[in-house]
Amino acid sequence: MIRVYFVGTGGGAPSPYRSLPSYLIRREGFYALFDCGEGTQRNLMEYRLGIMSIKLIGITHMHGDHVLGLPGLIQTMGLLDRKEPLYIMGPKAIKDFIERTSELTGFRAPFEIRFIDSYEDENIRIYKFPTCHTIESYGYIFEEKERKGLDVEKLRRDGINDWQILRELKAGKEVRFNGKTLKPEDYIIVKPAIRVAYTGDTSYCEKVIDSVKGVNLLLHDSTFLDEKDAREWGHSNAIDAATVAKQAEVKRLALIHISSRYRDTSQFVRLASRIFDKVFVPEDLSYYILDREP
């Protein structure tokens, strides 16, 4: 199961209603934070999400509303005596930004910071994709890999409950049972991967469509209602985001990076739902749960 926490859903400047961009994805004990605008660590505390549990931070681009909370978060981790390495992904400038900030503020993190281009372990894969903004910018895919499990219902129907037989089948081995040969492919089911995509800042972009095809949840830039404003600043509006969601055949769309000029977001949903109906505008300090299909 994956939880997506909408830590900050605004963009450009904070407002009394929305904080600057930050999204935390939790999969069991693995915490990944994407973007870190000012106020991020305060909102994480509101969520009662352990700052020290964050293993990886992905930065989409170097505009201040997405990155200026990062030095403070790293410093807090150090003050709380973090020892575990912290993985950081982002554009080329992210390493220099952190090192220069550390030098200028006189604070050295007492833990290792590892700058990486992608992350993968037994259960999770995280990687970047290019977006269309005014500077070097990336989106991120967080993927919980597909799993193989036993078809419990079929095993029960066939009267198979010996744990040694179950273990052999799960290991992909044929087993003799009551004079018959049990084949693992008859009892193993594949539970599909769960994928979440976050675009960061982007205008309507074919590269984004190609990268987010079929994801379970798409967090897409929807800064403005007006198309002209969106184009001028390298952003998207609700119609752009909905068009991407439809063309990429995603399962669900969250409109994020809402400009501080808007308090009422109902028109965002109305416009987007004309094109793609499984759409919502998340509020700060809300979350969305994704579980595997049965």
Segment 167-216, tens digit of pLDDT: 998 888 999 998 899 998 898 988 899 999 999 999 999 999 999 999 99
Query: Does 139 share its domain with 162?
Result: no
Mean predicted confidence (pLDDT) in 265-280: 97
Query: What's 24's domain CATH number?
Result: 3.60.15.10
How does pLDDT run across 99-112, given as a tens digit for each residue? 999 999 999 999 99
- Do residues 184 and 211 both lie within one domain? no
Pick from 156, 189, 222: which residue ends a domain? Answer: 189
Query: Please, which residues bridge with residue 259 across strands?
Result: 11
Query: Within a 10 A sphere around the Cβ of 77, how many other Cβ atoms?
Result: 21
Q: Are 161 and 256 part of one and the same domain?
A: no
Number of helices followed by number of strands (H, E) in the chain: 10, 20
Domain boundary among 131, 166, 189: 189
> How far apart, in whole angstroms, are the C-alpha atoms of residue 240 and residue 246?
10
Q: Is the pLDDT of residue 226 over 90?
A: no
| One domain for residues 39 and 140 | yes
User: For 132-151, what is the HEC assignment?
Assistant: CCCCCCEEEEEEECCEEEEC
User: In this model, does residue 266 exceed pLDDT 80?
Assistant: yes
Active site residues: 65
Same domain? 270 vs 283? yes
- Mean pLDDT across 233-249: 97
Mean of pLDDT over the chain: 95
Whether 200 and 133 have beta carbons less than 8 Å apart is answered as yes
Going by pLDDT thresholds of 50, 70 and 90, the confidence category of residue 294 is very low
Same domain? For 31 and 168 the reply is: no
Can you give the pLDDT at residue 232? 86
DSSP 20: S
The answer to whether residues 169 and 205 belong to one domain is no
**Is the same domain home to 141 and 152?**
no
Q: Are 115 and 94 in contact (CB under 8 A)?
A: yes
Interstrand relation of 279-280 and 22-27 (parallel, antiparallel or unpaired): unpaired
**191 vs 14, higher pLDDT:** 14
pLDDT in tens, 34-89: 999 999 999 999 989 999 999 999 999 999 999 999 999 999 999 999 999 999 99
User: How many domains in the chain?
Assistant: 2
Question: Are residue 38 and residue 156 in the same domain, yes or no?
Answer: no
Shared domain for 124 and 225, answered yes or no, is yes
For residue range 19-39, list pLDDT tens digits in order: 999 999 999 999 999 999 999
pLDDT at 293: 60
Q: Residue 9: pLDDT band by 50, 70, 90 thresholds?
A: very high
CA-based nearest residue to 140, from 98, 51, 201, 67: 201
Query: What proportion of the chain, given as a percentage, has pLDDT over 90?
Result: 84
60 and 157 co-located in one domain: no
3-state SS, residue 107: coil
Q: Domain range holding 153?
A: 148-189
Helix residue ranges per DSSP H, the chain: 40-47, 64-67, 70-79, 93-105, 152-157, 163-170, 206-211, 227-232, 238-248, 266-273
Structure tokens, 7: 């830590």
pLDDT at 203: 97
The mean per-residue pLDDT over the stretch 144-160 comes to 90
Which amino acid is it at 90? Answer: G
Whether residue 43 is found in the same domain as residue 172:
no
pLDDT greater than 90 at residue 228: no
